Structure formats: C-alpha cells, structure tokens
Chains A and B, each alone.
With several copies, the nearest count.
Chain A
Amino acid sequence: MVTSWRFCRRLQGVDVSYLVRDTIDTRALLERVSDDTRGGAVLFCGTVRAGPDDGPVKAIEYSAYDQMAESEFANIVAEAAERWPDVALELEHRLGRVPVGEASIAIAAAAPHRAEAFDVCRFVIDETKVRVPIWKREFRDDGETRWRSNEPMSAED
C-alpha cells in the first residue's frame, strides 16, 4: 500500500503538494532550484492552448486521482534525482479550471551544466504525460465540454 510519505514533498520542513489549485508561481519555482553552483536553469510551462486546430476552447478543467498523482510525481522526481544527481528539480501541476493562456504545469530544473537541466525538464514532462493520473475536460465557447487526452489519436500532444 502507498504510505503517506509518498504523497507530498517536504520543503523547509513543510509538506508541499505537487498538485495546486491556484496560479503557478513560476518565478518561485525557478528560485527554489537556483543556487550559486548551478549555472543552467530551465523552466518548462505547459499552458492551456486554443490554437486553430483546437476549436473554441475557453478553459480546461483538470482533475486527478490525487493520491496516486502525488505518488507518481514523487516517483518521477526520485527517478530524476537518481539519474541526474546534480540537478535540482521543482514542479507543480494545477487542478481545477485553468483559463486559456495560463499554465497547467511548470517544471523548473537547475544544474551545473545546462544539458542536464534540459534533459531533466524533458524527462519530467514526458513521464508526466504517460504516468500521472490527471484528466482534462475542455470547456468551449459554445457551451460544449469534452474530455481530452495525451494519446496519439487525440488532438493533444
């Protein structure tokens, strides 16, 4: 069974969730990973998109299997830490209704060498898409809603 230590990360002695319900403060994430020994920092932001192929999207509502999502994020972070021990990593995924243009996920990685910071960010977003139990429902201008997914057949990437 999953034990409680896997549900959240501790930050300066306080339990912090990877899942948040408010606007993600990307600057704070970047600051948390930065220090004088890490010369390269990479921030990835996934934002709610309303492109020409997306139709009249107004917002996306994210929901999760919260406990498992926290646990999978913790696993991904632990795997990254094992593979890239010099890299500092922070991430947050937003739940609830996210308007077009706002971030649903932000990942910050900093490392002594820039290649590692890029690699960690890509690893984390790629793993998130295929492992973390989060779902999204699109709200459209015409009042319709529809479930969307990361699968190749879907319009999302």
Chain B
Amino acid sequence: MNTGITVHCLFFARYAEIVGRTDLELELSRGSTVADAVDRVRSDVAGGHDLPTTPLVARNQQHVKFDSVVEDGDELAFLPPLAGG
C-alpha cells in the first residue's frame, strides 16, 4: 500500500516568477505538514531556494499555519505578501 500523498501547489505573482511556473504536483509522506511541503518546494523545485523560508500559505483556499497537516489531494497556494485594497 502506498503511504505517500500528493498535494497540488499553486504559485502566484512574484512567486510564480521565482519558480517559473504557476503550479506543480508534490509527493509527500503521509503526516507531512505545511512546513514540510514548503521545505520540499524550496529544496527540490528549480528556483525554490529563492522563496522565503516562511511564505504565506493557503490550504484549500484558507490561510493555514505551518504546523497544519496536509492530506492527499490538498491544494497548497504559495501567497506572496498581500497587496489588495
């Protein structure tokens, strides 16, 4: 039985420029947190090391903390500093 999960990562605005893409599928081990996902993106994705170590992240379109556990099929959005208004 496969114990891994897949999350769908989205990149917006300046972060999309940094990694040169707007999304990717990320394989993680079950029980991984948002922090684990961010670390993996920073280490494995081209340009990922230029992302901040603690970017704003939304899980399934809701702001989340870094210790939130991610689940299979989750969407993780990497949000640059907000500028609405």
Binding site for B on A (CB under 8 A): 1-2, 46, 62-65, 67-69, 71, 93, 104-105, 125, 128-137, 147-151, 154, 156
Contacts and interface: CB of A to CB of B under 8 A. Distances in A.
Interface residues of B, number: 17
A134 to B, nearest CB: 3
Interface stretch (B24-32, B36-44, B73-81): B73-81
Contacts, number: 77
8 closest Cβ contacts across the A-B interface? Answer: A134-B84, A149-B81, A135-B13, A68-B61, A136-B83, A132-B84, A129-B85, A149-B83
Interface of B: 10, 12-14, 58, 60-63, 77, 79-85
A133 B16 CA distance: 14
24 contacts: A65-B10, A65-B79, A68-B58, A93-B84, A104-B85, A105-B85, A128-B85, A130-B82, A131-B82, A132-B84, A132-B85, A133-B12, A133-B79, A133-B82, A135-B14, A135-B84, A136-B83, A136-B84, A147-B83, A149-B83, A150-B83, A151-B81, A151-B82, A154-B81
Main secondary structure of the interface of A (DSSP, over half): mixed
A133 B81 contact: no
Given A2-B60, A71-B61, A131-B63, A65 B12 contact: yes
Given A63-B13, A134-B82, A150-B81, 20 more contacts: A1-B60, A2-B60, A62-B84, A65-B10, A65-B61, A65-B79, A67-B61, A68-B62, A104-B85, A125-B85, A129-B84, A131-B82, A133-B82, A134-B85, A137-B13, A147-B80, A148-B83, A149-B81, A149-B83, A151-B81
